[in-house]
Structure 1
Amino acid sequence: MGYYPIFLEVEAMPVILVGGGHVALEKIGRLVDAGADVTVVAPELIPEVREFIDAGRAKWTARAFEAGDTAGYGLVMVATDDGEVNRSVADEARENGILVNAADDVANCDFILPSLAKKGSLQIASSTGGGSPAMARWLRERLEDFLSDDVVGLADLLAETRVEIRAMDRQCAARCPRTKTPPPLLCEDCPNRIPVERWQEAINGGVFDLVQQGKMDEARTLLKERLQRSELTPAPWWTTEEETVR
């Protein structure tokens, strides 16, 4: 079976989590950290799951799953070791057109959860397609070693610079009388457009070395130079010397 990799926006999404044990604990942390509106349905909770309820980070329906419980939810997560419960929840979710995941029960899953290495703003997901959880953990541990403070610092620098440049691009595209694309996109032939390849060349062109040395200001300057947008004040062909987009 093939899977399509995706990062799902769950901010404020109502999510039902069926089960209150250790498997549920593995799910609830990531969900609430991503901003999901989680409701746990289970007769009992282990203390660690109960902490999320007591802290107001999730809600609890203190009973077993009942028919109709999935209605109104955007995502269904099942964390029980009862195959019959898993099947009942999955069947109802699918009837309602809701994606469902049942832990360690591929037959009752529309998607599987990857092994995740996370630090700062970076997340790297890996999966063996459910074939080897041990291998997935092995990969995660090595990816966590790779995600050093320097790598996170580089990611933050690139993100900040991109926001700056996109703000300039938005002004450029909005004012260009020959634009073929809506703001904030630039035309393919716009001299201010930065190809993806140039970003990659900038990363490989000494910027990361400066980040590793803690020279963030120098890294920022070099990045903009490598991108050929050092002044971050694009002057498209239609501007005059007195009318530079800022």
Structure 2
Amino acid sequence: MSYFPAFLKLDNKKILIVGGGYIAYEKLEHLLDFSSNISIIALELSDNMKRVIEEKSLNFEKRGYQKGDIKDFAIVIVAVDDIPLQARIFAESKEYNCLCNSVDSVDYCDFIFPSYIKKGDLTIAVSTSGASPAVAKHLRKYLQELIPSSIGEFLQEMKELRKTLPKGKERMKMLDKKAHDYINTWSSK
């Protein structure tokens, strides 16, 4: 079954990462593009995890996971190789109505991390529903090359225009033409 693409608003949503290795670090790096309300529980931390936790002043507890740790969190990322622990945390997440992602265990996931591009307000997500993360990664790289670095400034200009121009068909037509013309300049380069 395919995953439904959705963009979640993470404002005021607490996130917990269980684990402190390389994969936990990758997930942390992705999440920091959208939120800093992140806590980590792990027995050990990679050097990169230690550095980011210190730089971002994130909450960290050096210990193993304990039942009930997720009760105050909206999202939990389980980045440990312990499959029985992944299963337990996933089952517990249903009790607390929090979304769960267990790395490399789709049976214990409510959602997956797509490969994505983020440039200013633009976010493009690419997913193969877990069939081939490598294809998603290379497609993301291909798309990233197509998008000019000026996209952030252009989106800011469009945002300002939407705020200042009165709503209606004329505004829609003008903004549509402006977007169309901007994107058409990409192919003329």
TM-score normalised by length of structure 2: 0.88
Deviation at 1:118, TM superposition (A): 1.7
1:202 aligns with 2:163: no
TM-score normalised by length of structure 1: 0.69
1:15 aligns with 2:15: yes
Deviation at 1:153, TM superposition (A): 3.4
Structure 1, gaps ≥5 residues long: 170-191, 213-246
Q: Equivalent residue for 1:116?
A: 116
Partner of 2:150, secondary structure, is helix
Aligned length: 188
Question: Runs of 4+ in structure 1 displaced over 6 angstroms?
Answer: 209-212
Q: 1:39 to 1:211 in 2, by over 3 A?
A: same
Structure 2, gaps ≥5 residues long: none
Higher relative contact order (CA 8 A, sep 6+): 2
Deviation at 1:68, TM superposition (A): 0.9
Q: Equivalents in 2 of 1:3, 1:208: separation in Å?
A: 28
Deviation at 1:130, TM superposition (A): 0.6
Structure of larger gyration radius: 1
Q: Which runs of structure 2 are paired with 1:20-39 in the superposition (5 Å)?
A: 20-39=20-39
Q: Is the 8 A contact 2:119 2:151 kept in 1?
A: no
1:49 aligns with 2:25: no
Cα shift readout 1:23-71 (whole Å, capped 9, x = no counterpart): 0001112223322411101111001001122224311111011111111
CA root-mean-square deviation: 2.4
Q: Which runs of structure 2 are paired with 1:108-187 in the superposition (5 Å)?
A: 108-165=108-165, 168-169=166-167
Q: Equivalent residue for 1:80?
A: 80
Q: 1:126 to 1:210 in 2, by over 3 A?
A: closer
Q: What fraction of aligned residue pairs are identical, expressed as a percent?
A: 30
Cα shift readout 1:75-116 (whole Å, capped 9, x = no counterpart): 111111111111111111112111101111100000111110
Partner of 2:44, secondary structure, is coil
Cα shift readout 1:172-192 (whole Å, capped 9, x = no counterpart): xxxxxxxxxxxxxxxxxxxx4
Q: Equivalents in 2 of 1:60, 1:31: separation in Å?
A: 16
Q: Equivalents in 1 of 2:35, 2:162: separation in Å?
A: 25
Residue 112 of structure 1 aligns with an amino acid whose one-letter code is I
Q: Equivalent residue for 1:187?
A: none
Deviation at 1:156, TM superposition (A): 2.5
